[in-house]
Amino acid sequence: MAPRTYRPEALNTSKGLFVLACLLAVVAMAPIAWIVGLSLKDNKALMLGTEAVFALPYTLANYVNLIGSSQVFGWFFNSLVVAVGETVGVLVLSSLAGYAFGRLEFPFRRTLFVLVLFGLAVPEQAVIIARHQMFNWLGWHNTHLGLIVPGLTSAFGVFLMTQFFRAIPKEIDEAALLDNTPPFRLFWRVMLPLTLPAQATLGIFTFLHAWNDYWWPLISATKKEMFTLTVGIASSQTNFAQSEGLGFLSAQAVFASLPVVIVYILFQRHIVTAVSGGAVK
Amino acid sequence: MAESWRRSQWRNGLFALPFLVTFAAFLVFPLIWGFWLSLHKVDLFGPGRFVGFDNYVKVLRDPQFRQALLNTLIFVATTVPTLVALGLFLALALNHLTRATAFLRGLFFASSVLSVTIVTLIWRIVFIPNDGLIALVFDHLGWAQIGFLSTKGWSLFSVGVATVWWCIGLPMMLFLAALQQIPVDHYEAAALDNANRWRVLTRITLPAIRRTVLLVAIIQVVMQFQLFGQAQLMTNGGPAGSSRPLVMYIYEVGFIRWEVGRAAAASEILFLIILCAAMIQYVVATRNQEGV
């Protein structure tokens, strides 16, 4: 960023706007505080009235019960397998394809790249009916593979990696050319390490996307033991508040959001870049 | 220079092959197959007979579809301007980087990383009648209780509130990035003229970021047209279909009623709508890059 020696008064944020933003932040955080509060209360106490949340005593019983119900961990495991699988798959496919599109010449390169770009505009809902039938024939419903594969068609990763490979200075290939390095070794030894920042961005974006996906797992994973965490949490909401109690449900929400919240706190910068970049494409 | 190595070679294409095969098999093929399905009367037990555009006609005549389309349009027309205005407001308020504004930016963005099921779980517990956070606040203020999720008119509104809360981070971040791009010298002339904040905003800041405003709006149109999880989980489209969006219609026709051909036709219609928006986005985005 250019050094700014001179800052006009009008450029500074007004105090009024900032105070308003603070108030909005309080409003935006109130639901979170509410859920955390409820999750720490005894379900029976909440039955009598949720005002109880503002008074002692608090308890961790809901979280203990949560750990007792093994189902949540099964779902957690499924989400983890799917998100990691999809992330690894997308990174491998996108890096290879990005290298080809960004730095190599081959027949129909431009046509194929335009086709891939077109894929960016295809919403998942447009292919869902046919994809569901296809996975039926393949017998892939209710498998981890079946949950992972649709995510691998994401054109965004290829687009991002192509841009990144293109930005690497030409001199690097030229040096490698003198040594007669074959393309794959050049890719593996020289190019790939240079794309690590992009790999991190794409990896985080893909992981979050896969972890939070609801639409495809809802349709593909119909067996309870194959639910991902998102579908599992949704399914346990059906007899809302009657069977399990607000405290327990709230504890579930907090527990399920913990992994992403921790990842968010650790990698905030990367995540913001990844998500913003993902939107602009 | 050994340019021979750079020349076009089939072998070089092998790098792109794994992705292209996956892309063709699981995106391009279903896209074509889906169009084929939409022209046939198909049910659970396999492909049926060719019916031309019959499915499309039936879908367009279905009052449920029309209502879902109308709901989606209302939803898009209300949430998108809210997200743009609120995002712009937050970006302006938090533009000057300090510890406090960085913290608030992080806070407003945080909800974006949650999954739709957690967001809806949170908001359902906030909206429950009598016991929810909103009910408590209304009680405290002596206002009459409203069944936010079970009243016609309020249900789609409530889904919208949860959606804005969930999605506000992205518009804010995109606006912040755009505000950083405005050259400082644009403001210097204004300072010399002693222009007040409002004039600076309307004469300098907004014109400078107007493409970003358009871009954010289109991105949000594309995203909000795909509304599904929030409506399905918070209101299940109710009461009486008053909050059922298009995608939920597709889901119900395709996976609950198993009228596959008709669901495929509905999804093609949705695809067409989103494709138009995405095309506009592409044009704006490329113009944006050239302009800067």
Domains and CATH numbers, chain B: 63-291 (1.10.3720.10)
Kindly report, residue by residue over B149-162, the tens digit of the pLDDT.
888 889 999 999 99
Length of chain B: 292
B13 touches chain A (CB under 8 A): yes
**What confidence score (pLDDT) does residue B1 get?**
38
More confident residue, A2 or A153: A153
- State the Cα–Cα distance between residues B159 and B162, nearest whole angstrom: 5
pLDDT at A125 over 60: yes
Contacts of A61 (CB under 8 A, 6+ apart): A42, A247
pLDDT of residue B96 exceeding 90, the answer is: no
* Residues of chain A above pLDDT 70, percent: 88
Give A179: exposed, middle or buried? Use CB within 10 Å, 0-12, 13-18, 19+. Answer: exposed
Point out the residue among B5, B13, B270 whose CB comes nearest to the CB of A106.
B13
> Which tokens go with B255?
């996976």
pLDDT for residue B59 is more than 70: yes
For position A149, what pLDDT does the model report?
95
Look at B200 and A10 and tell me if their CB atoms are within 8 Å: yes
- Complex ipTM: 0.86
Largest CA distance in chain A: 79
Helices within B154-259 (DSSP H only) = 154-167, 169-181, 185-192, 197-200, 206-208, 210-225, 229-234, 246-255
Cβ neighbours of A34 in B, within 8 Å: 122, 125-126, 133
Chain B, 37 to 66: residues with Cβ < 8 Å from chain A are 37
Which residue ranges form the domains of chain A, and what is each CATH number? 15-59 (no CATH), 71-231+266-280 (1.10.3720.10)
Mean pLDDT (chain A) is 84
Evaluate if residue B88 carries a pLDDT over 60.
yes
Q: How many CB atoms lie within 10 A of CB B2?
A: 9
CB-CB contact of A43 with A248 (8 Å): yes
| Residue-level pLDDT at B4 | 47
Distance from C-alpha of B271 to C-alpha of B275, rounded to nearest angstrom? 6
Confidence of residue A182 (pLDDT cuts 50, 70, 90): confident
Identify the three-state secondary structure at position A228: coil
**Average of per-residue pLDDT values in chain B:** 87
Q: Which residues of A touch B101 (CB under 8 A)?
A: 13, 18
Cis peptide before B245 (omega within 30 of 0): no
- For residue A214, the model assigns a pLDDT of 94
Nearest CA in chain A to B192: A8
